[in-house]
């Protein structure tokens, strides 16, 4: 049996009780931290807190050489741990399909996600979010500034009066994280400087939720990673109150 | 302090360790089960499993008369428990804003959500989902069949080649849940009988994930609630493999 367990958003306490029980019952526990990582903890703390040994696999050790994990799952109970929800990344879906090909039973234990936190912490209604997008570092997509596809997704949502969640680029294992201020600076001109909300340290006890025009957000420090950026559509009355109260958006900016 | 804690998707083990710690440390724990409820557990089991007493509030006890909860939060540590993530429903955002108005600190402990599970269990990539929609019971929206707005949302996503998550109507406390088969039957004609995937019992040890043309799904039994319906866009190659392997979509149907 191969059980995919999501560690959730932030630290060693973001896992569900179901997930904790699954790792404790497993014969072997693998993990990968190249698609995402928990900003609030370490592998050592996870091991100590959950009372387990974790075998961390790099990208090659999952994608090119999955045999070690699949053999363990064929012989006993193996768990594969990842940040957030375990099936959000395509590489994990691929591993699940390889397990199914070998006749190995699989199971998914869900985790809390950035997508949920973006809606939850801003007070913007989840059913009003359109397609999400990821903003890459300018030096990572071979072009300058912002890819047209990112702007097109945001504009398309805006035309339909939907919110957009912008994931910010992460380079692992280099631990390079795009800051909310960088994202705001990159997007201010192509989007004509709309209101945005930076969400930082989602899942922690004291997350950052701070909104204003992107040109103003570009000048601020939102603390340690991870950051994401939400671009609200025209808010409903309750959403408007939430933006002002929970995200400190200056009320007069919403009326401009 | 008022801490909103999400119970997650399914039963008493769907809560995070952070959430469990918050309810255990609280002076008083309130809950509501009128916007959603956990299909896999009871209030008694939750109380026993978490080692707490839960004061269940009905809609009037939250929305018209929130004073009891807010007073408890002003005097000590109060927790407000809900299924899924605690801020997905507007009524909870409203309660959070009322607390802020009274100068009461608030905090959010996230939970796993149906939105995440819909993507995760089907293998459909989360960034390819467009706006979600809710399908009401025909007798609940004052019309016949399916509201135009539901069809419009699905068609609009389809034109942009995005997946749609369709939440199915729930009537609480009457415990009336729309079945995936009912949803498939309602939508088959207006949508011209596309492929759909019913996801049931998300968050449980053995969820249902079953896809086919809607006219075929209309004839099936997907087990106990809750159900939701996913309408995939044209799948990418890995998504196609996932639909066939994880959701039992007949491969030839995807090529028609």
**pLDDT tens column, A151-172:** 999 999 999 999 999 999 999 8
Let me know whether A46 and A17 are in one domain. Answer: yes
Write the pLDDT tens digit of every residue in B5-55.
999 999 999 999 999 999 999 999 999 999 998 999 999 999 999 999 999
Instruction: Identify which of B16, B107, B130 has the shortest CB distance to residue A130.
Output: B130
Query: Does A108 contact chain B (CB < 8 Å)?
Result: yes
Contact A119 B87 (CB under 8 A): yes
Q: Are A211 and A197 in contact (CB under 8 A)?
A: yes
pLDDT at A27 over 90: yes
Same domain as B166, residue B242: yes
Nearest-by-Cβ selection for A13 from B21, B108, B112: B21
Is pLDDT at A256 greater than 80 in this prediction? no
Lowest mean pLDDT among A136-150, A201-215, B60-74, B122-136: A136-150
Structural domain containing residue A45:
2-109
User: Which among B6, B13, B88 is the nearest to A18, CB-wise?
Assistant: B13
Question: Does the CB of B35 have a partner CB in chain A at under 8 Å?
Answer: no
Minimum CA–CA partner of B202 in chain A: A110
- Answer yes or no: do B151 and B243 share one domain: yes
- Choose, out of B127, B205, B206, the residue to mutate when testing the contact with A (most A CBs < 10 Å): B127
Residues B226 and B130 in one domain: yes
Instruction: Please give the residue of chain B at the shortest CA–CA distance from A108.
Output: B121
Question: Which B residues in the span 180-199 are in contact with A, Cβ-Cβ below 8 Å?
Answer: none
Task: Report pLDDT for B143.
Answer: 74
For the cut 90, the answer to whether the pLDDT of residue A139 exceeds it is no
Task: Provide the pLDDT for residue B141.
Answer: 76
Give the end of a domain, one of A91, A109, A127. Answer: A109
A74: domain CATH number is 3.40.1010.10
Could you report the per-residue pLDDT of B78-129, keeping only the tens digit for each?
999 999 999 988 899 999 999 999 999 999 999 999 999 999 999 999 999 9
Q: How many domains does chain A have?
A: 2
Mean pLDDT of A208-215: 98
**CB distance A94–B15 less than 8 Å?**
no
Same domain, residue pair B42 and B149? no
Predicted confidence (pLDDT) per residue in A86-113, tens digit: 998 889 999 999 999 999 999 999 999 9
What is the rounded average pLDDT of the residues B239-248? 97
Residue B88 pLDDT? 86
Contact assignment for A123 to B14 by CB distance below 8 Å: no
| Whole-number pLDDT of residue B99 | 98
Q: Are A80 and A199 contained in the same domain?
A: no
- Domain closes at, from B60, B83, B109: B109
Question: In sequence order, which residues have a C-beta less than 8 Å from that of residue A72 and are 6 or more positions away?
Answer: A27, A28, A30, A78
- C-alpha dihedral, B141 to B142 to B143 to B146, nearest 10°: 10
- Top-confidence residue, B140 or A227: A227
Are both A99 and A130 inside the same structural domain?
no
- In this complex, the residue of B8, B18, B132 whose CB is nearest that of residue A13 is B18
Q: Of the residues B109, B127, B144, which one is the last residue of a structural domain?
A: B109
């Amino acid at each position: 049996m191969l059980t995919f367990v999501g560690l959730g958003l932030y630290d060693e306490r973001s896992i569900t009780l179901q997930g904790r029980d699954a790792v404790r019952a497993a014969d072997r526990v693998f993990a990968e931290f190249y698609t995402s990582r928990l900003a609030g903890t370490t592998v050592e703390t996870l091991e100590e807190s959950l009372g387990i040994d974790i075998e961390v696999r790099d990208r090659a050790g999952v994608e090119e050489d999955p045999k070690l994990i699949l053999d363990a799952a064929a012989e006993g109970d193996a768990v594969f741990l990842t940040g957030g929800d375990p099936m959000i990344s395509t590489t994990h879906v691929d591993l699940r399909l390889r397990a199914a090909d070998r006749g190995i039973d699989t199971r998914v234990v869900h985790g809390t996600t950035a997508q949920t936190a973006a809606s939850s912490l801003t007070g913007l209604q989840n059913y009003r979010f359109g397609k999400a997008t990821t903003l890459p570092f300018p030096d990572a997509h071979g072009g300058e500034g912002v890819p047209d596809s990112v702007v097109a997704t945001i504009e398309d949502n805006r035309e339909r009066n939907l919110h957009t969640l912008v994931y910010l680029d992460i380079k692992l294992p280099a631990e390079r994280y795009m800051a909310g201020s960088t994202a705001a600076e990159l997007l201010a001109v192509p989007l004509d400087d709309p209101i945005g909300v930076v969400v930082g340290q989602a899942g922690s006890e004291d997350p950052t939720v701070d909104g204003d025009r992107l040109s103003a957000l570009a000048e601020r420090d939102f603390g340690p990673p991870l950051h994401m950026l939400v671009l609200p559509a025209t808010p409903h009355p309750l959403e408007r109150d939430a933006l002002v109260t929970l995200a400190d958006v200056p009320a007069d900016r919403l009326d401009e």
